[in-house]
Structure 1
Amino acid sequence: MPSLQLTDTVGDQVVIAVDPHKASWTAVAVDRRLQPLATMRVPAGKAGYRQLRRFARAWPQARWAIEGARGLGAPLTSWLAADGIAVLDVPAELARRVRLLSAGHGRKSDEADALSVGIAAQTATRLHAARTDEAVAALRALIEHREDLVRTRTQTVNRLHALLTKLLDAGLPRKLTADIAAKALRRVRPEDTLGHTLRALAADLVAEIRRLDRRITAIAEQISAAVAASGTTLTELHGIGDLLAAKIGARTAGIDRFRSAAAFASYCGVAPLEASSGDVRRHRLSRAGDRQLNCALHIMAITQIRRPTAGQAYYQRKRAKGKSHKEALRSPKRRLRDVVYRTMIRDTDTSLLTAA
């Protein structure tokens, strides 16, 4: 049963803030004074959604804000969008900082988390409205599923390596494939019980790696087809293939929600942060932003500096000025983020013209 606690309504601008989890959603109504008016916890699902809508009737003009609206909050975001209700997407890191800086010594509970989401929605000026683009959501699901499969394959290969060190004196190369392992196992003829058991386990792992390879290949083909259908020209940029283009598109979730290249850079975590004090003016590396997007731009930059490209020439000029490898790499990385931003803006403009 949901819990409901009511206080006197104060203020004419209320935010219904939601902290979503797999099994439950916790909502807090937050007024302009950043005070909680009511709290409710409901089970995640259609029934819980209907209870939240009834809960929100007390504030007909209230805005909705959800932590991770494209993550655990995606189902709730989709149902609200279907009913014509816009949702502010509050990053989890922003809500966490609000909670730590609020009164209460940073104590953590679902109600405190939801209240932090509401405070962030009431005070932050650059939050984005969550959008439910089914094509983008499907692409992100494919990307995340492939990453899970790749992670599982890596773990399986590591277990196989550990077994083979007990069966083979010299072990096998670091880049182990199912075919290499199978060929090596054919030479193993154990005579004791332990050896037979280890060989059988290794054979099972080889079969599992082959199965994972087939699944990863199939998912990659689906991703390539989705990228081709999207009409993106990101794949024309040096260093971006179908997988990176898919990740950038899925994680960005609409380039037009960024007001400028600088805003996109901040979202990706590639914009330097000012760390000045007194007369000293300096900047430090940002650890904020979407780390998956940051990783995609990093891979693109690494690929470019290894080939005769404009990015490589720019990197070499920085190195010639005495910059370290990491310092020199940041410069082309920042330039590439602008190239990616302009390319995605151009793709959006082209698709709008085509639709018209």
Structure 2
Amino acid sequence: MKHALDGPDRHLRLLVDHREDLIAERTRAINRLRWHLHELDPEWDPTARSLDRVSNLDRVLQRLAELTSLVARLATAITERCRNLTEEINTIEAEIQQRAEIAAPALIGLPGCAALTAAKILGETAGITRFHSAAAYARHNGTAPLPVWSSNRARHRLSRTGNC
């Protein structure tokens, strides 16, 4: 059977890929913003991974509003961009959550598998029926054990082939 990514699985794949692109864009913007904040005040060092929340970005905007330099103006523009990206990411995450709960409730029910993971699995799988066995699917996703021998001792490692 051919690779068949249509319907809800394709939509989830598109949403997950778009979300990842937005996160990468926001990460680049946050890195530029942190540099500008350091330039404005070397003591101003927001906590790691705190600039991906709207409330923290709003606090940065309030503090930047007190400054008038060109660097502050650029930092303000970048902060607003980060805020917009964060809101868009949050909206997409909510849509992914909703679609994944409909498409794969059993998958979400597994321990450690939330909506984003389930959506990624569905999108990458592109129709489980195209695999003739569980072993074929394991090989596709890179979880099939491969035997490795070293001095008469058989061991296994995960396959590095497939769609991973």
Question: Which TM-score band (shorter chain)?
Answer: 0.7 to 0.9
Size of the alignment, in residue pairs?
A: 160
- Distance of 1:259 and 1:202 partners within structure 2: 54
- Distance of 2:59 and 2:5 partners within structure 1: 49
Sequence identity percentage? 35
Q: Provide, for residues 207-236 of structure 1, a one-character-per-residue CA deviation record: whole Å limited to 9, x for no partner.
A: 001100111111112212222332531111
Answer yes or no: is the 8 Å Cα contact 2:140–2:163 preserved in 1. yes
Matched, 1:175 2:57: no
The one-letter code of the counterpart of 2:140 is: Y
Answer yes or no: is the 8 Å Cα contact 1:157–1:176 preserved in 2. no
Question: Following TM superposition, by how much is the alpha carbon of 1:273 offset from its aligned partner in structure 2, in angstroms?
Answer: 1.9
Q: How does 1:126-205 map to 2 (within 5 A)?
A: 128-170=1-43, 171-177=45-51, 178-184=54-60, 186-187=62-63, 196-205=69-78
Q: Provide, for residues 265-288 of structure 1, a one-character-per-residue CA deviation record: whole Å limited to 9, x for no partner.
A: 211112232233784533334322
Q: Provide, for residues 132-175 of structure 1, a one-character-per-residue CA deviation record: whole Å limited to 9, x for no partner.
A: 42222122111111111111111111111111111122222112
- Distance of 1:132 and 1:267 partners within structure 2: 15
- Distance of 2:105 and 2:88 partners within structure 1: 25
Question: Following TM superposition, by how much is the alpha carbon of 1:185 offset from its aligned partner in structure 2, in angstroms?
Answer: 5.5
Matched, 1:246 2:113: no
Matched, 1:281 2:154: yes
SS in 2 for 1:250: helix
SS in 2 for 1:207: helix
Question: Following TM superposition, by how much is the alpha carbon of 1:184 offset from its aligned partner in structure 2, in angstroms?
Answer: 4.4
- Distance of 1:199 and 1:239 partners within structure 2: 42
- Distance of 1:286 and 1:231 partners within structure 2: 26
Q: Provide, for residues 170-201 of structure 1, a one-character-per-residue CA deviation record: whole Å limited to 9, x for no partner.
A: 222112325435434644655xxxx7011011
- Distance of 2:46 and 2:39 partners within structure 1: 11
Unmatched tracts of structure 2, length 5 or more: none
Q: Provide, for residues 103-146 of structure 1, a one-character-per-residue CA deviation record: whole Å limited to 9, x for no partner.
A: xxxxxxxxxxxxxxxxxxxxxxxxx5222422221221111111
Q: Provide, for residues 19-67 of structure 1, a one-character-per-residue CA deviation record: whole Å limited to 9, x for no partner.
A: xxxxxxxxxxxxxxxxxxxxxxxxxxxxxxxxxxxxxxxxxxxxxxxxx
Flag the 1:209–1:254 CA change in 2: closer, same or farther, 3 A. same
The one-letter code of the counterpart of 2:56 is: I
Answer yes or no: is the 8 Å Cα contact 2:50–2:56 preserved in 1. yes
| Structure number with bigger Rg | 1
Is 224-233 or 201-210 further displaced after alignment?
Answer: 224-233
The one-letter code of the counterpart of 2:156 is: H
SS in 1 for 2:105: coil
Q: 2:81: which partner in 1?
A: 208
RMSD: 2.3
Matched, 1:227 2:100: yes
Unmatched tracts of structure 1, length 5 or more: 1-127, 292-356
Q: What is the TM-score with the length of structure 2 in the denominator?
A: 0.83
Which gives a bigger RCO, structure 1 or 2 (Cα 8 Å, sep 6+)?
A: 2
Flag the 1:285–1:237 CA change in 2: closer, same or farther, 3 A. closer
Q: What is the TM-score with the length of structure 1 in the denominator?
A: 0.41
Q: 1:349: which partner in 2?
A: none
